[in-house]
Amino acid sequence: MSGELVLVTGGSGFLGAHCILALLNAGYRVRTTVRSAKREADVLAMLKVGDAEPGDALSFARADLMNDKGWPEAVAGCRYVLHVASPFPPGVPKHEDDLIVPAREGALRVLRAARDAGVERVVLTSSFAAIGYGQTPVAGHPFTEENWTDLSQKVSAYVKSKTLAERAAWDFIAAQDGALELAVVNPVGIFGPVLGPDHSTSTDFIRRLMDGEMPGLPRMVFGVVDARDVADLHLRAMTNPAAKGERFLAISGDFMTMLEIARTLKARLGNAASRITTRVLPDWLVRIVGLFDGQAAQIVSELGKPRNATSAKARRLLGWTPRSREDALVATGESLIRLGLLKKSK
């Protein structure tokens, strides 16, 4: 604290903006990367929605995950780096390398720059995607940080990109002399207050539900965590000595079915949730749709699986105490209403 400088990559993203807010509230100075100067206004607008007017406490650096240019300047003078930036499109990429290469090479680019600049610790935002896929989940046995996604099995491009990027980061650190430290945060689906129209794939799922764009709910389960709590976990992993060389799952409680999510929103948001369906789609119908729709095809293998995970490690080692799943979901819906991001009722 006391004005120490922290780099946040991808500050124009949903989680990146929440990390900036958490750092500013804790008294840090923040530098954040954007790919173009046009995005600086977007970052400032999101921070304003989050009740922050950073002034001189925030600065910007121009850098891209696919280019070495700008990264030495971005990390200069920083004690810590939160590497949050990573591609996560809502649809199916034309080629898996469109996700894998920026995720893996971007992580290595940031780590090299951090090492060369004498950064003390990098906190990498990975994902549950790097932990709980390519294997058969067993009811009563939640995934932990000891698990790794099995890439010898068929998994989505996004899952593969997060797994390969995190593996590459740990391999990089293992090959160093030990001066640069690494900690990793592995969130499940990140929800919570959106700060502008350009939010995330997870929060857009809530928007689609509330706008009545989903005629039915596949039999799937999701992990839920609030972006504010994920940001808090990043800060704890950044400074706590116990976090060195560790992974931390970020999840608020047991996974929820899509039906449970829908019912939670309808119970807590009243008329604003009137367009949310509670109709559960039969698996056979989702499979048929998956023959013609790439996004539906990605979820077919997840239908009916009893996936779960635990954040016991983060709670025990770092004293992390997240909000409830229900509060995270409702905060998403309330912010979509507040910012006028839902369709107008007829």
The domains of the chain, with CATH numbers, are 5-199+224-252+308-324 (3.40.50.720)
For residue 256, what is the DSSP state? E
Q: What is the DSSP string of 268-331?
A: HHGGGGTT---PBPPHHHHHHHHTT-HHHHHHGGGTT----B--HHHHHHH---PPPHHHHHHH
Is residue 261's pLDDT more than 90? yes
How far is it, in rounded angstroms, from Cα 290 to Cα 14? 29
How far is it, in rounded angstroms, from Cα 161 to Cα 279? 33
How far is it, in rounded angstroms, from Cα 226 to Cα 46? 17
Q: Which of 31-40, 92-101, 108-117, 255-264 has the lowest mean pLDDT?
A: 92-101
Q: Which of 146-150, 177-181, 258-262, 278-282 has the lowest mean pLDDT?
A: 177-181
Mind listing the pLDDT tens digit for each residue in 295-311?
677 777 787 888 999 99
162 labelled catalytic: yes
The predicted model gives 89-110 an average pLDDT of: 85
Q: What is the mean pLDDT of the chain?
A: 93
- Residue 307 CB contacts under 8 Å (≥ 6 apart), including other chains: 132, 137, 143, 221, 223, 255
Tokens standing for 131? 């932990």
| pTM above threshold 0.75 | yes
How far is it, in rounded angstroms, from Cα 137 to Cα 144? 12
Is residue 88's pLDDT more than 70? no
Mind listing the pLDDT tens digit for each residue in 206-255?
999 999 999 999 999 999 999 999 999 999 999 999 999 999 999 999 99
Per DSSP, the three-state class of 253 is: coil
* CA dist list (Å): 32 to 13, 16, 18, 69, 212: 11, 9, 12, 15, 36
The residue annotated as part of the active site, out of 162, 244, 305, 344, is: 162
Mind listing the pLDDT tens digit for each residue in 121-169?
999 999 999 999 998 888 889 999 999 999 999 888 889 999 999 999 9
How far is it, in rounded angstroms, from Cα 166 to Cα 133? 14
How far is it, in rounded angstroms, from Cα 36 to Cα 41? 10
Per DSSP, the three-state class of 140 is: coil
Helix extents (H) in the chain: 14-25, 38-49, 71-75, 97-117, 157-174, 201-210, 227-239, 258-269, 283-290, 294-299, 312-318, 325-338
Is residue 1's pLDDT more than 80? no
Is residue 346's pLDDT more than 60? no
The predicted model gives 170-188 an average pLDDT of: 95
- Residue 63 CB contacts under 8 Å (≥ 6 apart), including other chains: 9, 33, 34, 35, 69, 70, 71, 73, 74
Tokens standing for 239? 């400074």
Local confidence band at 47 (pLDDT 50, 70, 90 cut-offs): very high
